[in-house]
Chains A and B, each alone.
Chain A
Amino acid sequence: MGNGQLGRRAGVVTIPDSPFPIHAVEAMSDPLIRVEGLAKRFAGRDGAHATVFENIHFSIEPGEFVCLIGHSGCGKTTILNILAGLEPATDGYVFVGGREISGPSLDRAVIFQSHALMPWLTVMGNVGFAVSSRWRDWDRARVRAHCQKYIDLVTLAGAENKRPAELSGGMKQRVGIARALAIQPKMLLMDEPFSALDALTRGMLQEEALRICAETSQTVFMITHDVDEAILLADRIILMTNAPNAKIAEIVVNTLPRNRNRHDMHRHPHYYRIRNHLIEFLVDRSRAFDEESAASGYDPRHPPLVRPGLAGDSPAPEHSIPARPPTAAKPLVAVVK
């Protein structure tokens, strides 16, 4: 099976008229975020070090939406916390705008999975706390006016004076988004922001996130284990292998047009190719990636950039995609969560 995949990936990579040049990331001079050789190890009981992940290299361009997908325990959240400055890395560096980070910063706003709102403050109070932390010399009226703009942006107008306990899960997460956006950060870090919500609310918030990111041309790094969410939102999807010794297996370029939406995204010919590629990775390849990479000259500094969405247009044979009908693939996502 490894051969089939290699062939397909090679086919994708050698497309000459691709809209995204290979190693586009390296070609551009100034990524917003550059991650170099990141690693996290824990001291084990017998003195040996348990490596969660190592040799993580990637970068994020300004205005780009990047998703990180991988199984639980592969260190996704740790990577996000390191980017946020909340957790130290054992090895490696993170550069933001060319400067190495040394801790948390107002430049990088975090949207937490558990929304992390302060229950003793109202919606306005929660957003206002962030705004007055960012601009310490602003008076009350200015802070309020600024908060109102972002509360309106996430369509929470009318709920300003409610406490988090009076809000639904989706509304709470909207407040979290408003709080993060209100400080006008250079980038947003989202840790599975929609995973605690019901499917209907999740879909609505995903579309809103897409709209807000388009309106504000925000740079986003998001962790998810929802394949559809990644395809809907991300420009590039980073695939991580399983722990221990997790690494970036490859980076999938989302070739769906940027004005995609939840309702007809699945009609685009690229959609199922990308989706199958991601699910196939999560189900099979994320486990056995070491064997696969040994044969392919894998270089962790430059994880392969692939465009499975264009695979059908290339000579790569369709049967190289495993014989799993798309409908059967859905429950597998649930299994791998």
Chain B
Amino acid sequence: MGRASRWAAPALSVLLLLLFLGVWHAATLPTAGQQVVDAEYAKLVGAAAATGQKTAFPSPADLGAKLWQHLKEPFYDRGPNDKGVGVQLAYSLARVLAGYFLAALVAVPVGFLIGMSPTVYRALDPFIQVLKPISPLAWMPLALFTLKDSSISAVFVIFICSLWPMLINTAFGVASVRREWLNVAKTLEVGPVRKAFRVILPAAAPTIMTGMRISIGIAWLVIVAAEMLVGGTGIGYFVWNEWNNLSITNILAAILAIGLVGMVLDQMLARLTKLVTFPE
């Protein structure tokens, strides 16, 4: 039973994938009959697709070939509109990490201070509640106007969207450190700095890390949209550019890459969270 259940889930996953690929493959098989289409449309989408031998949507094999091509040469750079997926992902990752770490640098200390004082907590709460639900992209025009640089504006958008989960979780984690641990520190006449680093920080660390994990997820969601807006480089721009090129295959490849990178980022933070979590 134990052995069976261990392999059941992965086997089912593979089966579902094969089923999905099979349906996809069947759906994109070239149709037999000739089709009469508008000449302009035929020019636009390519003769093969227009005449019905093949749909414009790529088959799994097309995507596989494209992925292989990207994997063989991920970091090529042939001018502003022709860069490898690896290069574009690296641009996006650099922006995300820059904005994310800047946000952590602000959110964790500020959240700590907010969490330590119930008065400050209550005083700042209305501001946080109003600022938190604002779509980070709504800040974009403001950032472009004040920062006057599209790339820095994208980093700012990441900063803004990663800030709130980290800030709120840090404040909550610090505010809900168990009273008894603080009492222990009090009876041991522990100073404020030692108390912050030896008692409050380890006690709040799991909550803080949960906030950081939520933040990296949101940041990775937002970067695609932000780069579609600011253009130039990045995986978001790549997707938009390939839409303009009408290369659905490239778009699919990029979507897959975005998903995989997002998963890796999330798993890394999950590992870190596990490291600081303590069993009660």
Contact = CB atoms under 8 A, between A and B. Distances in A.
Contacts of A134: 188
B182 to A, nearest CB: 9
A104 B186 contact: yes
A165 to B, nearest CB: 4
Contact of B199 (A85, A118, A183): A118
Nearest to A189: B187
B198 interface: yes
B279 interface: yes
Contact of A104 (B181, B189, B205): B189
Contacts of A130: 184, 188
By CB atoms of chain B within 10 A, which of A84, A109, A120, A183 has the most?
Answer: A120
B184 A116 contact: yes
Contacts of B202: 118, 120
Contact of B187 (A110, A114, A165): A110
Given A118-B202, A130-B184, 20 more contacts: A86-B186, A86-B187, A104-B187, A104-B189, A105-B187, A106-B188, A106-B189, A110-B184, A112-B183, A116-B183, A118-B184, A119-B278, A119-B279, A133-B189, A133-B190, A163-B278, A163-B279, A165-B278, A165-B280, A183-B188
Contacts, number: 59
A129 interface: yes
A114 B278 contact: no
A120 B189 contact: no
B180 A119 contact: no
A103 B280 CA distance: 29
Nearest to A176: B184
B108 interface: no
9 tightest CB-CB pairs across the interface, nearest first? A116-B180, A165-B279, A120-B278, A133-B188, A119-B278, A104-B186, A104-B187, A120-B202, A110-B187
B181 A116 contact: yes
A129 B188 contact: yes
A133 B187 CA distance: 10
Contacts of B184: 110, 112, 116, 118, 130
B187 A84 contact: yes
A97 to B, nearest CB: 17
A67 B74 CA distance: 75
Nearest to B280: A119
A176 to B, nearest CB: 9
Interface string B158-192: 00000000000000000000101101101111100
Interface residues of B, number: 20
Nearest to A105: B189
Interface in A72-122: 84-86, 103-106, 108-110, 112, 114, 116, 118-120
What DSSP secondary structure best describes chain A's contact surface?
loop
B148 interface: no
B203 interface: yes
A312 B203 CA distance: 56
A164 to B, nearest CB: 8
Contacts of B274: none
A130 B185 CA distance: 8
Contacts of B203: 118, 120
Contacts of B187: 84-86, 104-106, 108-110
A180 to B, nearest CB: 9
B194 interface: yes
Contacts of A165: 278-280
Interface in B56-87: none
Interface string A130-171: 100110000000000000000000000000000101000000
Nearest to B277: A120
Nearest to B190: A133
Interface centre among B187, B202, B203, B279 (most CB of A within 10 A): B187
B181 A118 contact: yes
Interface string B257-280: 000000000000000000010111
Contacts of A118: 181, 184, 199, 202-203
Contacts of A109: 187
Interface in B205-230: 205
A134 B189 CA distance: 8
30 contacts: A84-B183, A84-B187, A104-B186, A104-B189, A105-B187, A106-B187, A106-B188, A106-B189, A108-B187, A110-B187, A116-B181, A116-B183, A116-B184, A118-B181, A118-B199, A118-B203, A119-B278, A119-B279, A120-B202, A120-B205, A120-B276, A120-B278, A129-B188, A133-B189, A133-B194, A134-B188, A163-B278, A163-B279, A165-B279, A165-B280
Contacts of A112: 180, 183-184
B122 to A, nearest CB: 21
From A105, A129, A183, residue with most partner B Cβ within 10 Å: A129
A209 B188 CA distance: 21
A314 B245 CA distance: 109
Interface in A241-286: none
